[in-house]
Amino acid sequence: MLLTRIREFFVNAGVLEVETPVLSAAGTTDPAIESFTTTYHGPGPCHGSRLYLHSSPEFPMKRLLAAGAGSIYQICKVFRDGESGRRHNPEYTLLEWYRAGFDHVALMVEVEALLREVLRDLLPLAPARHWTYRELFVEYAGIDPFATSVSEIRQVLQAKGSNAPPGLAEDEFDGWLDLLLTHVIEPALDPGLVFVSEYPASQAALARLLPGEPPVAARFEVYLDGVELANGYHELTDAAEQLRRFERDNTRRGARHLAAIEPDRRLLAAMRSGLPDCAGVALGIDRLLMIAGGVSHIDEVMVFPLGTA
Amino acid sequence: MATYSTNEFRGGLKIMLDGDPCSIIENEFVKPGKGQAFNRVKIRNLKTGRVIERTFKSGESVEGADVMDTSLQYLYSDGEFWHFMDPNSYEQIAADATAVGDATKWLKEQDLCEVTLWNGAPIAVTPPNFVVLAVTDTDPGVRGDTSGGGGKPATLETGAVVRVPLFIEIGDMLRIDTRTGEYVARAKE
């Protein structure tokens, strides 16, 4: 029913449903995501080469956008190694969509409209709360994430009854911010719909940067009842900057003793040929079902979770 | 001793933490979609019984603890140590007051107890869930009152004091739930 409502929403909005490959020659360089890989034994192209199971359909969807597809959406299974828990299963369902001509602010409005429409009789939603990343940290952790230090974060953690995990290096600053986010802020978030935007540039991922002091990423996250539900960007369209980010990701992967991932040259070629101005967002369908159904473990909304797959 | 990665964490796993053997009660994986993964773990310190929460960066490893639960027969106490015996090998082990803890008030000679050994030495004693103990002192019984309403304190042979119904008399054998410290019934004997 949820999927039917989502498809209705996009039909009415004039957004085209697409399918892109689950297996691809290129993987994500994101240092926080480990892809599954497999080997194709031929015949035909990619004979004997390693293929990645996609962790998101982002790159091929951007290639479609560059080819002039206009606004598109996709509902598909995606895969991530090393993720299993109350809110994680290594295989899960993602709704990802791109809106030509939108920025992240316009897309946040649409995300709220979609959730309101899809959840209409399941979970009535009060108007969403909006925070910038900075406001959120000031409100819930009492610190400015753009002007703080690891030692200050340690103090906040201690005051809130959490420890500093051994092995988290002093220079993994985003890791310390993630620690505050997951241990102090997320558990304290108000129920209902919450948008967080303007992330630190170091966490821009594939979002463009907004000028300012300091510059921030045109990225947003959506929380519903304290659960991270979606992540969106006003998409980076600059191919040269995209390549620098891939290289920066690989430097970070190296520091964590993770294998470097070859940047997706087909995506880069598509961006060089011209990715239209657009915003995109990925939303976890299983988590949406969890919240709509009032259950606390992702296994409860999956027919056969990992343990019985 | 083996080391365990956070990916191997599960309820019941015994690990070393701050020099003490601990048992994992609950392991929660938390991770922002685009960020660092953590394991948020509830852990019982097996020496003190205290439950604490600890966070590990996912992928880190910790040292395992050589902890074993064994079923041993309680023999006697010499005041300083409580002596237990393996009913199969007849091997004897002495546990000190710290290890025995609150179990002392339920220990009856010849009962089988669960003794937790760390590197072969006892660190905790769990009495059987139910024990049968004689009443050594209580107010005179009220014959015929089986209502169970009200009740009164009774001292048992091990020194434990439990609340019992009014009809209980000195010399009665009582079945006690050691997990709650409550009277269950009179035992036939």
Q: Which of A84, A165, A182 sits opposite B32 (nearest CB)?
A: A182
Strand blocks (E) in A201-264: 209-210, 216-224, 227-234
Burial pattern A137-160, b for ≥16 Cβ within 10 A else e, equals beebbebebeebebeebbebbeeb
Tens-place pLDDT, residues A259-297: 999 999 999 999 999 999 999 999 999 999 999 999 999
Three-state secondary-structure class, residue B139? coil
Tens-place pLDDT, residues A4-46: 999 999 999 999 999 999 999 999 999 999 999 999 998 999 8
Average of pLDDT values for A232-256? 96
Tell me the β-bridge partners of B118: B67, B121
Matching residue, tokens 């620690």: A179
Q: Give the type of residue at A77.
A: K
Residue A54 burial by Cβ neighbours in a 10 Å radius (0-12, 13-18, 19+): buried
- The reply to whether B28 touches chain A by the CB within 8 Å rule is yes
Alpha-helix residue ranges (DSSP H) falling in chain A: 2-13, 58-66, 104-118, 133-141, 150-159, 173-180, 239-255, 265-274, 285-293
Strands A193-200 and A129-132: parallel
- Spatial neighbors of A21 by CB under 8 A, at least 6 apart, are A54, A60
Residue B144: its pLDDT value, please? Answer: 63
The yes-or-no verdict on residue B141 having pLDDT over 90 is no
CA separation for the pair B86, B112 (Å, rounded) = 9
Three-state secondary-structure class, residue B125? strand
| % residues pLDDT > 70 (chain B) | 94
Average of pLDDT values for B48-56? 93
Q: Which residues of A touch B55 (CB under 8 A)?
A: 162-163, 165, 179, 183
Min Cα–Cα distance to chain B from A183, Å: 9
- The reply to whether B167 touches chain A by the CB within 8 Å rule is no
The yes-or-no verdict on residue A50 having pLDDT over 90 is yes
Q: Do A32 and B7 touch (CB under 8 A)?
A: no
CA separation for the pair B151, A43 (Å, rounded) = 84
Strands A16-17 and A72-79: parallel
C-alpha Rg value of chain B to the nearest Å: 21
Three-state secondary-structure class, residue B155? strand
Average of pLDDT values for B78-93? 94
Q: Give the type of residue at A258.
A: L
Residue A46: its pLDDT value, please? Answer: 87
Cα end-to-end distance, chain B, whole Å = 48
The yes-or-no verdict on residue B148 having pLDDT over 80 is no
- The reply to whether A82 touches chain B by the CB within 8 Å rule is yes
Count, residues in chain B: 189
Touching B: A residues 187-216, CB under 8 Å: 203, 205
- Spatial neighbors of A221 by CB under 8 A, at least 6 apart, are A195, A196, A197, A199, A228, A230, A231, A232, B32, B33
Are the C-beta atoms of residues B93 and B84 closer than 8 Å to each other? yes
The yes-or-no verdict on residue B143 having pLDDT over 70 is no
- The reply to whether A112 touches chain B by the CB within 8 Å rule is no
Touching A: B residues 44-73, CB under 8 Å: 53-60
pLDDT averaged over chain A?
96
Q: How many CA atoms lie within 13 A of B51 on its CB side?
A: 5
- The reply to whether A167 touches chain B by the CB within 8 Å rule is yes
The yes-or-no verdict on residue B188 having pLDDT over 80 is no
Other CB atoms within a 10 A radius of the CB of residue A277 amount to 13
Q: Domains plus CATH for chain A?
A: 2-128+234-308 (3.30.930.10)
Complex ipTM value: 0.92
Q: Do A181 and B33 touch (CB under 8 A)?
A: no
Q: Do A82 and B36 touch (CB under 8 A)?
A: no
C-alpha Rg value of chain A to the nearest Å: 19
Q: Which residue of A has its CA nearest to B37?
A: A32
| % residues pLDDT > 70 (chain A) | 100
Cα end-to-end distance, chain A, whole Å = 23
Tens-place pLDDT, residues A70-88: 999 999 999 999 999 999 9
- The reply to whether B34 touches chain A by the CB within 8 Å rule is yes
- The reply to whether A306 touches chain B by the CB within 8 Å rule is no
Nearest residue to A195 (alpha-carbon basis) of A105, A101, A95: A105
Residue B140: its pLDDT value, please? Answer: 84
Tens-place pLDDT, residues B122-135: 999 999 999 999 99
| Confidence at A102, pLDDT banded by 50, 70, 90 | very high
- The reply to whether A174 touches chain B by the CB within 8 Å rule is yes
CA angle B49, B50, B56 (to 5 degrees): 120
- The reply to whether B5 touches chain A by the CB within 8 Å rule is no
Tens-place pLDDT, residues A190-203: 999 999 999 999 99
Tell me the β-bridge partners of B24: B43
Q: Give the type of residue at B124.
A: A
Q: Domains plus CATH for chain B?
A: 3-63 (2.30.30.30), 67-126 (2.40.50.140), 130-186 (2.40.50.140)
Q: Which residues of A touch B38 (CB under 8 A)?
A: 165, 178-179, 182-183
Residue B146: its pLDDT value, please? Answer: 61
Query: Can you read off the two tokens belonging to residue A24?
Result: 């691809």
CA separation for the pair A54, A21 (Å, rounded) = 8
Best probe of the B interface among A83, A173, A182, by most B CBs < 10 A, is: A182
Q: Do B33 and A165 touch (CB under 8 A)?
A: no
- The reply to whether B149 touches chain A by the CB within 8 Å rule is no
Three-state secondary-structure class, residue A46? coil
Tens-place pLDDT, residues A205-230: 999 999 999 999 999 999 999 999 99
The yes-or-no verdict on residue B142 having pLDDT over 70 is no
**SS3 sequence of B80-101:** CEEEEECCCCCCEEEEEHHHHH
Residue B149: its pLDDT value, please? Answer: 64
Average of pLDDT values for A162-172? 90
